Amino acid sequence: MATATEAARNAGGPTSHTRFQFTQATKEQSKARVALDGPSGSGKTFTALTIAAALGSRIALIDTERGSARKYANEFAFDVLEMSYFSPDDLVEALAAAGAAGYDVVIVDSLSHFWSGSGGMLEQVDTAAKKGFGGNSFGGWKEARPMERRMVDALVAYPGHVVVTMRSKTDYVLETNDRGRQVPRKVGMKPEQREGLEYEFDIVGSMDWENNLLVTKSRARSLSGAFVKQPGIEFGQQIKDWLEDGTAVEPIEDLITEALRPEATFEDLGALMRKVRARRLEGAPMLDPVGAPTTLGAHITERGKLMRRTAAGQGENREGGAA
């Protein structure tokens, strides 16, 4: 005879009162999260623009490379924001502005500056260590790490597609040429970025000086381990086809619109927050009604708190009037 647990399992019902419940997994349509690394001159910017052109029509490029992206303005249509200070929070604000403007694709060229450039993570850690921890780097990391988390969350939860480039350090190796002689060859090493950041992206590719791309990580099985010589629009189309092969989901833009809706009630915001948390979109960058940068989760939370304070104040006024 089947036990109660087995009977519940066979009937598809819950086997306990736990709050953790499993549901049938389905592949959903999603937005691109692509990272390209490589040494200077390997074609990262051009390839990022090529991929972006396949993914959407309105492209925003955040340029940290002293305006170098403009050299491709005769080949691609895109808007550019040139930055010279690279605080991770500034990137969150830039992404919020891009999302509010409705850009289909955002390129960050390059993300490495927000790690090792002026105002980047390494500088933020150093400043925090000297300011509040007597130069202790562990204390500096504890202070600065949330800033990096906000930046990564904003990249992952951006309403459109995201393509980032990362610089790789350069080194030389000796190789034997066709004449049997040892000759030096330049190679790209590790990207200038926090170790493990590639886990945040669906597709990661490394580029060489001949503008070839090796896919080193891919959640798209058709692209896993692919070696693409001078990738063109077809490579971007392959990414787009994989992204669109799945069940349609509510666009992040609609969730942001709901969060901004003036007539939304406290119950509406509660239901919206549950939906946002289920999709891990609390860090989605957005602008509040006055144009200040924030995130979707923070905005819903602040609106909920304001509604509670307002309701409490009205209750006190009624009690005072009755007295």
pLDDT value for 5: 52
DSSP sequence for 189-217: EEESS-TTGGGG-SEEEEE-TT-EEEEEE
pLDDT value for 189: 60
Per-residue pLDDT of 92-106, as tens digits, reads 999 999 999 999 999
pLDDT value for 192: 73
pLDDT value for 132: 84
Residue 55: which residues within 8 A CB-CB, separation 6 or more?
32, 104, 105, 161, 163, 236, 239, 240
Task: Give the mean pLDDT per block of 10 residues along the chain (323 residues).
Answer: 54 66 90 94 95 97 94 97 96 97 97 94 93 86 93 96 90 72 64 83 93 94 94 95 93 96 96 95 96 96 94 71 54
Distance (Å, whole) CA 107 – CA 81 = 10
DSSP sequence for 58-126: -EEEEE-STTGGGGGTTTS--EEEE-S---HHHHHHHHHHHHHHT-SEEEEETTTHHHHSTTSHHHHHH
Q: Are 191 and 112 in contact (CB under 8 A)?
A: yes
Q: If you ran DSSP here, which 8-state letter would residue 133 be given? A: S
CA distances from 22 to 15, 119, 278 (A): 11, 43, 13
Residue 240: which residues within 8 A CB-CB, separation 6 or more?
32, 54, 55
pLDDT value for 186: 55
Taking the domains of the chain in order of start, what are their residue ranges? Answer: 33-244, 252-322
100-137 core/surface letters (b: 16 or more CB in 10 A; e: else): beebbbbbbbbbbbbbebebbbbbbbeebbeeeeeeee
> Look-up: residue for tokens 């450039």?
117
pLDDT value for 221: 93
pLDDT value for 14: 53
Strand partners, 38: 167
pLDDT value for 20: 86
- Which fold is adopted by the domain 33-244? Rossmann fold (3.40.50)
Distance (Å, whole) CA 179 – CA 182 = 9
Q: Are 126 and 182 in contact (CB under 8 A)?
A: no
